[in-house]
C-alpha cells in the first residue's frame, strides 16, 4: 500500500527567518498549531501549541523556538504525530504569527520568512509568505482526518491583518 493510501503519520514543520537589522527591535515569529474536535472544527481551538503552550498528550511538540531568527537552519521546529492524536480530533491548523510591539509588523518587513512542511522526505509545503505580505499572522497548513481515519494535508494559506498572536490563536480555525 502506497503512502497516498496510508495517510500522514508524523509531520515536521520548520520556520526560518533572518534577524532584524542591527539596532532595530528583534523580529519574533512563532509557529502555532491549533487542534479542533468534530464538535467545533472551525471554531475555537481545543488547545494551542506554541512556545508558551504544550500539547496535553504530547502528540504535538515544539522542538525549537527563537525570539530573534539568529543562527543557521531552523529557527522554530514542530513535530506533529497525527496518528497518535485522540479520536476526538479531526483537524489541526498550523500557522505563523509575528509578535507585535508598537504598530503592525508584517511579513513583508521580516527578512526571508519561510515555512515548510515535510513528512519523511516528502515536502508537502514550502511557503515564503509572498501571498500574504501585509499580514501579521497567517495560517499555512491544514491537516484533517478523513471519515476512514487517515490524516490528509491541505495547503491553507490565509493572511490575518492587524492581528496579534493571541487573537490569531483564537481565530485560526476560520481558515
**Interface positions with Ca ion (CB under 5 A):** 28, 30
Q: With respect to Ca ion, which residue has the nearer C-beta, 46 or 75? A: 75
Contacts of 118 (CB under 8 A, 6+ apart): 11, 12, 13, 14, 124
| In the complex, least distance from residue 74 CB atom to Ca ion, rounded to whole angstroms | 12
- Least gap, CB of 97 to Ca ion (angstroms): 9
Which residue's CB atom is positioned nearest to Ca ion? 30
Asked if 155 and 140 touch (Cβ cutoff 8 Å), the reply is yes
Looking at beta carbons only, is 28 or 77 nearer to Ca ion? 28
Cell of 53: 503552550
Closest contact distance (angstroms) between CB of 151 and Ca ion is: 26
User: To the nearest whole angstrom, how small is the minimum distance from the Cβ of residue 119 to Ca ion?
Assistant: 23
Q: Name the residue nearer to Ca ion (CB basis): 62 or 90.
A: 62
Q: Provide the grid cell at 172.
A: 485560526
The CA distance from 4 to 150, in Å, is: 10
Spell out the residues 6+ positions from residue 144 whose beta carbon is closer than 8 angstroms to its own: 90, 91, 92, 151, 152, 154
Helix H or strand E encompassing 92: strand 89-98
> Shortest approach of Ca ion to residue 51 CB, angstroms?
5
Phi-psi region of 163 (alpha: psi -120 to 50; beta: other; left: phi over 0): beta
Q: Which is nearer to Ca ion, 28 or 46 (CB)?
A: 28
Name which of 30 and 142 has its Cβ closer to Ca ion: 30
Look up cell 500539547; give the residue.
55
Amino acid at each position: 500500500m502506497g503512502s497516498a493510501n496510508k495517510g500522514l503519520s508524523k509531520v515536521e514543520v520548520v520556520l526560518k527567518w533572518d534577524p532584524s537589522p542591527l539596532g532595530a527591535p528583534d523580529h519574533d515569529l512563532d509557529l502555532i498549531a491549533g487542534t479542533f474536535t468534530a464538535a467545533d472544527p472551525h471554531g475555537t481551538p481545543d488547545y494551542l501549541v506554541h512556545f508558551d503552550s504544550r500539547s496535553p498528550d504530547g502528540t504535538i511538540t515544539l522542538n525549537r523556538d527563537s525570539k530573534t531568527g539568529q543562527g543557521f537552519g531552523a529557527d522554530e521546529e514542530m513535530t506533529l504525530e497525527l496518528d497518535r492524536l485522540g479520536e476526538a480530533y479531526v483537524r489541526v491548523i498550523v500557522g505563523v504569527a509575528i509578535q507585535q510591539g508598537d504598530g503592525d509588523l508584517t511579513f513583508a518587513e521580516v527578512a526571508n520568512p519561510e515555512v515548510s512542511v515535510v513528512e519523511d522526505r516528502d515536502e508537502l509545503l514550502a511557503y515564503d509568505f509572498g501571498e500574504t505580505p501585509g499580514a501579521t499572522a497567517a495560517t499555512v497548513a491544514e491537516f484533517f482526518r478523513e471519515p476512514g481515519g487517515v490524516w490528509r494535508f491541505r495547503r491553507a494559506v490565509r493572511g490575518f491583518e492587524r492581528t496579534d498572536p493571541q487573537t490569531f490563536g483564537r481565530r485560526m480555525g476560520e481558515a
